Structure 1
Amino acid sequence: MSFKPFSSVLLLLLLASSFSHFGLAGKRRVHITDDLDDVFDDEEDDAWKEWGRKPAPSFAPSDFTKLDPSQIQDEMKKRHVGPLIGFVKLRLGTRRTPDTVAEFAMKWTQVLRTGAVGVRFMAVDLSTIMFNLENTKDLEELKDFVLDQPEAYEIKMGDQFFRRPGDPPLDEVIESLNSQKGKPDNAGPEETDLNVKTEL
């Protein structure tokens, strides 16, 4: 059988060529140049082009005398980077238990944290919930959420009050509750509703 040596030589040649083929395959590389100026990419939008760039610093106005107090507060809010503390006043005239107010605080905290807003609500008394907002950039989202809750009446942060459009100030609500209950006009807000001053 003269085919045995021929077939073994052929087998050796095939093995050698396959090994050399695999060896060359590892050395082949595709070269992509870094010069991509002539490449047209219409999928990039302005937000993508700005991604990764540091925002330009915004400077405070040099003369605050030309600004009204609300504009000054807006400028201060832009530069405030720490936590913000405020209070939510619940609707008066509604009987609540300490557990109910604590449930409101816990529910609001969980819902806003699910939406990536770093805030914590804590019950103070039967008509007040305190909040601690970690970053002021989430302030608008916090105000929108709280004022959408049927239990909330107004938000107080410093000397600013936020309520739904058309709602009267809290003092007027207390006066109307006084007149409805037939109490004398000199009754203080503490006497209006026992829920107001019961601390938790």
Structure 2
Amino acid sequence: MPNPNILLLLSLFLPLIFSPYYDFVRLANAGKRSIHITDDLDDVIDDEEDEAWKDWGKTPKLSEDKFDPPPSDLNKMNMQEIQEMMTTRNFGPVFGFVKLRLGERRAPDVVAEIAMKWTKIMKTGGIRVQFTGVDSSTIMFSMDQGRDTMELKEFILNEPEAYEIKIGDQVFRRPGDPPLEAVIEKLLREKDKADDDTPEDDGRQKEEL
């Protein structure tokens, strides 16, 4: 005669085995299992490193586009040689100064207007240059791309207010114009002469009176 306890257990578990919830019970039990990772990883090859991980901790490489300044003997080169040099070199930002014509009195707002006018004209031509007034006879400029240096030079020397432009250690003037130092000396001599002539003129006026 079958054991009544066995029959009771079978009556309880047989419905669970053949019921649709049996898979759920198995999944629940599987979720309780712990995952064990062995310490023996000598044969494991991890080939999924990305480029950022490979480069981490390394000294960053210098850019290949290094600043290559123009030669210091541009005055000895003809226009074709300068243009060829400009197309093969890679220039960075350029800074410099423009000397306005001396002997003219200019208020600060007049110099600011000249700087603003030049900035707008160059921007219209597709060249980004920022001009800023320094004093009554000097305007400073900064240019993003040094390859536009020749266009900037030609533009400035065609402006009536400008006398010379200095780019780095190079100074450019119109052909035949004397150095700025010579112009300053001439103006000083004329001023001294005018000062010397003033007392004589006053004396003559007194005699005539």
Name the TM tier (shorter chain). 0.5 to 0.7
- Greater gyration radius: 2
**2:101 aligned with 1:91:** yes
Structure 2 stretches of 5 or more lacking a match? 1-70, 194-209
Aligned partner of 2:23 in structure 1 is: none
Aligned partner of 2:156 in structure 1 is: 146
Map 1:11-22 onto structure 2 (within 5 A): none
Deviation at 1:80, TM superposition (A): 4.4
TM-score (norm 2): 0.51
Map 1:155-166 onto structure 2 (within 5 A): 155-166=165-176
SS at match of 1:117: coil
In structure 2, do the counterparts of structure 1 residues 121 and 78 end up closer, same or farther at CA, with 3 Å as the change threshold?
farther
> Whole-Å Cα distance in 2 between the matches of residues 69 and 149 of structure 1?
25
Runs (4 or more) in structure 1 with deviation over 3 Å come to 73-80
One-letter amino acid matched to 1:93: G
Deviation at 1:76, TM superposition (A): 9.6
One-letter amino acid matched to 2:73: S
> Whole-Å Cα distance in 2 between the matches of residues 81 and 144 of structure 1?
18
> Whole-Å Cα distance in 1 between the matches of residues 87 and 170 of structure 2?
12
> Whole-Å Cα distance in 1 between the matches of residues 87 and 140 of structure 2?
19
> Whole-Å Cα distance in 2 between the matches of residues 161 and 154 of structure 1?
7
| Cα RMSD (Å) | 2.5
> Whole-Å Cα distance in 1 between the matches of residues 88 and 132 of structure 2?
26
Query: Are 1:77 and 1:136, in contact at CA under 8 Å, matched by a contact in 2?
Result: no
> Whole-Å Cα distance in 1 between the matches of residues 72 and 169 of structure 2?
12
Structure 1 stretches of 5 or more lacking a match? 1-67, 184-200
In structure 2, do the counterparts of structure 1 residues 78 and 94 end up closer, same or farther at CA, with 3 Å as the change threshold?
farther
Of structures 1 and 2, the one with the larger relative CO (CA 8 A, separation 6+) is: 1
- Equivalent of residue 70 in structure 1, options 51, 73, 89: 73
TM-score (norm 1): 0.53
> Whole-Å Cα distance in 1 between the matches of residues 179 and 152 of structure 2?
20
Aligned partner of 1:186 in structure 2 is: none
> Whole-Å Cα distance in 2 between the matches of residues 95 and 81 of structure 1?
36
Deviation at 1:107, TM superposition (A): 0.3
What is the number of equivalent residue pairs in this alignment?
A: 116
Query: Are 1:87 and 1:131, in contact at CA under 8 Å, matched by a contact in 2?
Result: yes
- Equivalent of residue 142 in structure 2, options 129, 132, 146: 132
Query: Are 2:86 and 2:147, in contact at CA under 8 Å, matched by a contact in 1?
Result: no
Query: Are 2:90 and 2:147, in contact at CA under 8 Å, matched by a contact in 1?
Result: no
- 1:26-73: CA deviations, max 9, x gaps? xxxxxxxxxxxxxxxxxxxxxxxxxxxxxxxxxxxxxxxxxx9527x9
SS at match of 2:73: helix
Aligned partner of 1:110 in structure 2 is: 120
One-letter amino acid matched to 1:70: D
Deviation at 1:158, TM superposition (A): 2.0
Deviation at 1:117, TM superposition (A): 0.6
Deviation at 1:77, TM superposition (A): 9.8
